[in-house]
Amino acid sequence: MQTIQSVNEMQSHAIGLRSSGRLIGLVPTMGCLHEGHLSLIDIAKERVDKVIVSIFVNPTQFGANEDFDHYPQALEADLEKCRERGVDIVFNPTVEGMYPQGYSTYVNEEQVSAGLCGLSRPTHFRGVTTVCLKLFNITRPDIVVFGQKDAQQCSVIQKMVTDLNIPAEIVIGETKRGADGLATSSRNRYLTNSQHEEALSLSKALLIGQRMVHEEGVRSVDRVVAEIIHHLSSAHRLRVIYVQVVDRETMEPAREIIPGTQLVCVAVWVDQTRLIDNIKL
């Protein structure tokens, strides 16, 4: 496995791979790799000749009062996991390499990114689209694999790829969960045992919503959302940021439930830790 830090070296290497006919798969990450990331690597490995994992804690997607300064990092362990999983290249650029002095170009998607997390994190998706387009230009992927847990991020990136005619296929891997149902996330490391217990309400509440639709035939968005909020409210350290039923592609809020086309998306604070999750309806 190769580890490349230089942006120029990564780009010329990727251009070389492409001109020799190799298919490239990119798994963009901010490191601190968990089973969710590893399952995305497995998807890429099945589809392409060379798998690149980028590890870069991207400052432009964090708001002023967010956790950029203490975002968990574990480079040595990440490299080991990538090696074991058969990754070909880990690209771990520096902040200065990605955003040199005087950097001033950003990418804004203006529809899919507007609601849900876009409301409480107004500059977040601008940072995500900007860094992803840069990573795509540097690593020249044929496919890029993202996780369904970040459903809005997946839709925003898909929209950017369509709108800007980016020649890469976006592939979405299913959300990985622990045996207790908690969706894997690097931010789970922040949780104490008791916070972890409270966080389990997320997946439980989403399953309650899904059952209402598929087993009880409920079609009222308000009823499903109210029931999910009611369940989340029983966890005392948990504050709801949003619970919304949205269209899977556009992230537009739904008026009534149409099974097979929508997601319920949830964001909460568990004390100081912000967690998101979603389930298909």
Q: At 115, list the tokens.
A: 């609601």
Q: Are strands 89-91 and 143-147 parallel, antiparallel or unpaired?
A: unpaired
Interface residue with ligand PAF among 30, 38, 53, 87 (CB under 6 A) is: 30
Interface residue with ligand PAF among 13, 24, 28, 152 (CB under 6 A) is: 28
Residue 131 makes contact with ligand PAF by CB under 6 A: yes
Interface with ligand PAF by CB under 6 A: which range of 28-36, 112-120, 194-202, 236-244?
28-36
Residue 29 makes contact with ligand PAF by CB under 6 A: yes
Give how far Cα 160 sits from Cα of 55, 163, 166, 274, 276, Å. 21, 5, 8, 25, 22
Rounded to whole angstroms, the Cα distance separating 142 from 129 reads 17
Interface with ligand PAF by CB under 6 A: which range of 27-35, 91-99, 103-111, 221-229?
27-35
Rounded to whole angstroms, the Cα distance separating 143 from 48 reads 8
Interface residue with ligand PAF among 39, 61, 113, 148 (CB under 6 A) is: 61
Residue 128 makes contact with ligand PAF by CB under 6 A: yes
Closest distance between ligand PAF and the C-beta of residue 165, in Å? 20
> Is 37 a residue of the active site?
yes
Under DSSP, the state recorded for 253 is B
What count of residues does the chain have? 281
Q: Is the dihedral of CA 244, 246, 248, 249 positive or negative?
A: negative
Which residue numbers are catalytic? 37
Interface with ligand PAF (CB under 6 A): 28-30, 58, 61, 128, 131-132, 150, 153
